[in-house]
Structure 1
Amino acid sequence: MFIQASHIAFETLEPGLERRILGYTEQMMVTEVRFAKDVVGALHHHPHRQSAYVAAGSFEVTIAGETKVLVQGDGYIVEPDIVHGVKALEDGSVLIDFFTPMREDFLKK
């Protein structure tokens, strides 16, 4: 499957937070998430494995109670049901998220 991001619109989740689903199969999903400065992806957990790549900007990332600052080129991996969240430290910060299996809850019904 080819992904042409220029043909995929972002969905506004809340002010300063946008996501677009770049592609998925039953076993994998790739998303791009854009953040304004100080926007928080609240602490949460889910049954999916998640890997994220910092494509732009920087984030304060908390996983299982440990917090680190990650910058462009860094990333993280979260095992299922581990509490995690992020805070964007600058405007235009972008995460590329990978989920397995795919996040059915992200799809519009």
Structure 2
Amino acid sequence: MAAAQAATPFVDDQSLPWETVAEGVKRKVMTYDANVMLVKVAFETGGVGSPHSHFHTQMSYVESGVFTITIAGEARTVRAGDVFYVPSNAWHGAVCEAAGMLVDVFTPMREDFI
């Protein structure tokens, strides 16, 4: 697991390690407290975030790249600058069409990530 940083006023990106979570997919838990967590997820082209669900509410910002995101059976292509919302317990997944990064926010925090 990545060395997560509990909430502090500032987080130094360079001091945090990446964690490989699947072929072509790695994540970095940036910061969290009991109520919220921010995670960077880097994808290589062809990387897959396998379909899954969790009770956490999720919002994701597409920092870069192109992704096909499926949420509750609806698929859309998203690009840099776009945002998507995943309600609690909704099945969702991602396929990276062009290498990029997602910035995920979860509430409450994902205990399984630390």
- CA shift for structure 1 position 38: 1.0
Matched residue type, 1:5: D
What RMSD, in angstroms, separates the aligned Cα atoms of the two structures?
Answer: 0.8
Partner-residue secondary structure (3-state), 1:90:
strand
- CA shift for structure 1 position 15: 2.5
- CA shift for structure 1 position 7: 1.3
Query: Is 1:83 paired with 2:109?
Result: no
Matched with 1:43 is 51
CA distance in 2 between partners of 1:31 and 1:10 (Å): 11
- Select 2:107's aligned residue among 77, 100, 107: 100
For structure 1, the residue ranges without an aligned partner over 5 or more in a row are: none
CA distance in 1 between partners of 2:11 and 2:67 (Å): 25
Percent identical across equivalent pairs?
Answer: 37
Count of residues paired in the alignment: 106
Matched residue type, 2:103: I
- CA shift for structure 1 position 76: 0.5
CA distance in 2 between partners of 1:3 and 1:67 (Å): 34
Matched residue type, 1:33: V
| Matching of residues 8-87 of structure 1 within 5 Å | 8-87=16-95
TM-score (structure 1 length as normaliser)? 0.94
Matched residue type, 2:20: T
Partner-residue secondary structure (3-state), 1:82:
coil
For structure 2, the residue ranges without an aligned partner over 5 or more in a row are: 1-8
What does the per-residue CA deviation read over 1:5-53, in whole Å, with 9 as the maximum and x for residues that have no partner?
Answer: 1111111112211100000000000000001111110111000000000
CA distance in 2 between partners of 1:99 and 1:16 (Å): 22
